[in-house]
Structure 1
Amino acid sequence: MSPPQFSEDFIQKLNKLFSWRRDVRHFQTTPVEDTLLDQLLSIACMAPSVGLSEPWHYIKVETQKLRQEIYTLFKTCNEQAAQQYASEQQQLYSNLKLSGLNEAPHHIAVFSEENPAQGKGLGRHTMPETTAYSTVMSIFSFWLAARAHNIGVGWVSILPPQKVKTILSVPDHWTFIAYLCVGYPQFQYETPELEQRGWEKRNPDRKQWIIR
């Protein structure tokens, strides 16, 4: 079978998709259709993985009790994190919206198997962490596919892994990778919100090759 030939128009639209991939914090409460969520999961599972191990596990957190436990955990961690900054930065930090846990209609926790039988260990004898890297690739595939359907994704990265594993009752050999808020965004913007709010800006040096 001949590989597909992608047009210049498609390439330009793909570049626009990369540009408009945002970490969303402001969500509408309207749920995403189950069939569309299933489609996004199927695309996520097309991601490359070391040794074809497919180490990822996606959990839809739908129980209100569990969601509330996650939110309470987030609040505690967020308050502790704020204390690590000097007073000026602390005020800026407190004005950041760092999760959409209360608004997002869907919570998705993503875990990675540390040493899955699938793949038979290929490619990870010297770098076992590549299973986690593979799961991150899967998350990014999910994220881009979601954006193409005008669905927002927000990664809540402040949660302690072991406590999340306990709340969600997952096996010990699963590594917590991400807790995602998913839903239709309230706002659309190309510039990252952290840059808009003056927290940080992109580093142009990152676009340059390092030559050795």
Structure 2
Amino acid sequence: MTDHNRPFSRTETEGLYRAIYERRDVRSQFLPDPVPNDVLARLLDAAHHAPSVGFMQPWDFIVIDSVEVRQQVLSIFDRENQRAAENYTGERNRRYRNLKLQGILESPVNLCITCDRSRGGTHVLGRNTIVETDLFSTCLAVQNLWLAARAEGIGVGWVSIIDQQQLADTLQLPEHVYPLAYLCLGYVSEFLDQPELQAKGWRSRLPLEGLVRRNGWGTPLEEGELRDALAALMSATTY
């Protein structure tokens, strides 16, 4: 049994940060190799150990290996992706249409992480004022799974260009269950050195030191040790 009061070793700490920095939203690099059940079980268990407000644990996990179901989901994506492309013109439109934004059929398994908005009853501890905390909590489950997957060598891609109501209908979800994240999972040929959208020139990572403020929004971080440390960290980080 692990001593839960023991600090992480240097190796363990480096492994955690490596998973954080090397996590990628995978769309194009999936291999057909199946994800073993014991590995998938560990990923689901990692997600299930995410923190949740009031310990409500609002998540459920729908494992989707049916090609027929995935083809239906792909049709939903295709319609929404066409609509999304219309937001851009000229070179930006061309660049958008060349992006690979899903791996629904290429990945060996899909996973929908849902949020049961009725779980815990009418009054959940800590949710009285901010009712969206069930959604926030489910996002933490997604992140837990994503980091664990990277540590296992499993790629994950979040398909966000999708109509949530059509997805809910396809997966036959009850009215009070929201399909928060539709994920593609599988082993990959490689994890890219940089996020794909950054590598392809869509957007770059913002400088961290410009996003940190002190004691309120209107006060940027002044010159000093923390600002210098943030700048040094950003210059040393290549991910």
- Tell me which residue corresponds to 2:53: 50
**Which structure has the larger Rg over C-alpha atoms?**
2
- Tell me which residue corresponds to 1:24: 26
| 1:173 matches 2:172 | no
Over residues 6-61 of structure 1, what are the superposed CA-to-partner deviations in whole Å (9 max), with x where a residue is unaligned?
Answer: 12232222211111001011200111001110111111111100100000011011
- Tell me which residue corresponds to 1:127: 130
Distance in 2 (alpha carbons) for counterparts of 1:6 and 1:142: 20
Match of 1:130, as an amino acid? Answer: T
Match of 1:71, as an amino acid? Answer: L
Larger RCO, structure (CA 8 Å, separation 6 or more) = 1
Alignment check: 8 A CA contact 1:52 1:119 kept: no
Over residues 130-149 of structure 1, what are the superposed CA-to-partner deviations in whole Å (9 max), with x where a residue is unaligned?
Answer: 00100000010001001001
Over residues 60-79 of structure 1, what are the superposed CA-to-partner deviations in whole Å (9 max), with x where a residue is unaligned?
Answer: 11222211100111111111
Alignment check: 8 A CA contact 2:107 2:186 kept: yes
- Tell me which residue corresponds to 2:190: 187
Alignment check: 8 A CA contact 1:54 1:118 kept: no
The percent identity for this pair of structures is 37
SS of the aligned residue for 1:107 comes to strand
Q: How far 1:118 sits from its partner (Å)?
A: 6.2
Match of 2:158, as an amino acid? Answer: W
| 1:136 matches 2:139 | yes
Q: How far 1:180 sits from its partner (Å)?
A: 0.1
- Tell me which residue corresponds to 2:225: none
Q: How far 1:85 sits from its partner (Å)?
A: 0.4
SS of the aligned residue for 1:183 comes to strand
Q: What does 1:45-124 correspond to in 2, within 5 Å? A: 45-117=48-120, 120-124=123-127
Match of 1:9, as an amino acid? Answer: T
Alignment check: 8 A CA contact 2:110 2:185 kept: yes
Name the TM-score, length of structure 1 as normaliser.
0.95
- Tell me which residue corresponds to 1:7: 9
Alignment check: 8 A CA contact 1:51 1:120 kept: no
Distance in 2 (alpha carbons) for counterparts of 1:190 and 1:15: 15
Name the TM-score, length of structure 2 as normaliser.
0.85
In the superposition, relative to structure 1, how do residues 2 and 170 fare at CA in structure 2: closer, same or farther (>3 Å)? closer
SS of the aligned residue for 1:182 comes to strand
* Count of aligned positions: 212
Coordinate RMSD, CA, aligned: 1.6
What 5-or-longer segments of structure 2 have no aligned partner? 217-239
In the superposition, relative to structure 1, how do residues 195 and 2 fare at CA in structure 2: closer, same or farther (>3 Å)? closer
Alignment check: 8 A CA contact 2:67 2:105 kept: no
In the superposition, relative to structure 1, how do residues 208 and 82 fare at CA in structure 2: closer, same or farther (>3 Å)? closer
Moved more, 61-70 or 29-38: 61-70
Over residues 136-171 of structure 1, what are the superposed CA-to-partner deviations in whole Å (9 max), with x where a residue is unaligned?
Answer: 000100010010010000000011111100000011
